[in-house]
């Protein structure tokens, strides 16, 4: 299923004038470091709640949250993280996106300036809480940095606009309002720190297929069980020789596959965003895992945007999709895969987009480098 058909990022973080056309079910985004791969995922997340400024703040914190052990040391605060998402035109900070989403055209613009403001504590606390669910922390009367601007969203010609006032000292509370579509995001370390939601996986009917994939790592794996221990439900792997073993005793590759599977289920009829999809998966297992991954995403009608640095991952995904090329009459228009390569040129971000079948032929016949 294709929910986002086209996406134009006019300005967002370091991306300028990027046009992504004819997107597919599975979109693999590659390119050299700092070419904007992760920024595309963040831009797509803005579409989930386009008029929710707190959603934008939460997305801006995404990269800072990759290092939870730091407990705040060396990390940017919410206000600075938010401001760093913007492109700058003089004193104006601006984010501009547009595209075609569920066959509906949309435009999203957030823009404003950084101003020094003298605020009354009680009045500021009252107004902020009413509009955004923002609670003011200990501040003293005086000048503080504020983002003052607007957030505007146009959907099929109907425009909605809201004023925005955010302070450096605000505490931001997620409210997840007015979601336009179900979007699930996986960071490079979520297989370590995130709950795999195995209960959802079992209820979805995907359990037997996932167990087959787990056998890529260990052929003696028999099953996947949830066992109550006191007040907790603990995931166990049923092993022919070892018996029931806690999931925590297994390696990161197996945990990553379980997280991918549960995330596909959670993203059902929506979009799955994966940053550095290759993390924790050994090269020898890539091809079989991605054969399963592509089929599972199609089964649950999930559109995927995944970034990677790895040519081995690109090859494995191409070979995984190649199974459908052999069974079906695939052409450039109905190809389920796009390989999107990003490149910076003259302060603009360019994209080369190849249908999967064309990319596969280029790799097999010419050993084409798809990452640059």
Which tens digit of pLDDT belongs to each residue from 46-99? 999 999 999 999 999 888 766 555 445 557 788 999 999 999 988 999 999 999
**Sequence-distant (≥ 6) Cβ neighbours of residue 287 within 8 angstroms:** 315, 316, 319, 320
Q: Taking residues 115-142, what's their average pLDDT?
A: 58
Question: What is the pLDDT, as a whole number, of residue 125?
Answer: 58
Q: List the domain boundaries for the chain.
A: 50-171, 183-366
CA 171 to chain centroid: 24
Per the CATH hierarchy, to which homologous superfamily does domain 183-366 belong? P-loop containing nucleotide triphosphate hydrolases (3.40.50.300)
Q: Which of 27-31, 116-120, 199-203 has the lowest mean pLDDT?
A: 116-120
Q: Which pLDDT value is given to residue 190?
A: 87
Q: How far apart are CA 264 and CA 273, in angstroms?
A: 10
The pLDDT value given to residue 135: 47
Which pLDDT band holds residue 245 (cuts at 50, 70, 90)? very high
Q: Is 218 exposed, middle or buried (0-12, 13-18, 19+ CB in 10 A)?
A: middle
Instruction: Output the pLDDT for position 136.
Output: 45
Whole-model pTM?
Answer: 0.89
Instruction: Select the more confidently predicted residue: 118 or 8.
Output: 8
DSSP state of 13: T
- Average pLDDT of the segment spanning 186-210: 82
pLDDT higher at 141 or 142: 142
Number of residues that make up the chain? 372
């Amino acid at each position: 299923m294709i929910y986002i058909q086209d996406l134009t990022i006019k300005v967002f973080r370091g991306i300028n004038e990027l046009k992504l056309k004819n997107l597919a079910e599975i979109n693999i985004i590659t390119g050299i470091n700092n070419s904007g791969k992760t920024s595309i995922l963040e831009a797509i997340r803005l579409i989930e709640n386009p008029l929710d400024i707190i959603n934008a703040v939460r997305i801006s914190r995404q990269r800072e949250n990759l290092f939870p052990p730091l407990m705040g040391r060396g990390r940017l605060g919410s206000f600075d993280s938010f401001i760093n998402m913007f492109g700058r035109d003089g004193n104006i900070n601006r984010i501009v996106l547009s595209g075609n989403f569920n066959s509906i055209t949309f435009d999203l613009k957030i823009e404003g300036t950084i101003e020094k403001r003298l605020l009354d504590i009680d009045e500021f606390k009252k107004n902020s809480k009413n509009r955004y669910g923002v609670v003011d922390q200990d501040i003293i009367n005086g000048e503080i940095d504020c983002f003052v601007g607007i957030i505007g969203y146009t959907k099929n010609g109907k425009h909605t606009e809201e004023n925005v006032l955010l302070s450096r000292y605000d505490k931001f509370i997620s409210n997840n309002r007015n979601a336009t579509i179900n979007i699930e995001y996986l960071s490079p370390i979520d297989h370590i720190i995130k709950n795999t939601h195995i209960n959802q996986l079992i209820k979805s009917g995907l359990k037997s297929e996932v167990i087959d994939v787990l056998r890529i790592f260990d052929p003696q794996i028999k099953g996947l069980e949830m066992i109550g221990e006191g007040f907790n439900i603990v995931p166990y792997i049923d092993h022919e020789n070892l018996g029931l073993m806690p999931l925590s005793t297994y390696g990161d590759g197996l945990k990553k596959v379980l997280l991918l599977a549960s995330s596909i289920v959670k993203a059902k009829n929506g979009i799955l965003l994966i940053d550095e999809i290759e993390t924790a998966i050994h090269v020898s297992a890539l091809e079989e895992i991605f054969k399963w991954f592509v089929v599972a995403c199609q089964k649950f009608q999930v559109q995927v945007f995944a970034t990677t640095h790895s040519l081995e991952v690109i090859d494995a995904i191409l070979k995984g999709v190649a199974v459908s090329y052999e069974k079906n009459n695939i052409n450039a228009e109905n190809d389920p895969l796009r390989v999107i390569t990003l490149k910076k040129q003259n302060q603009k971000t360019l994209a080369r987009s190849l249908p999967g079948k064309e990319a596969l032929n280029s790799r097999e016949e010419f050993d084409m480098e798809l990452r640059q």
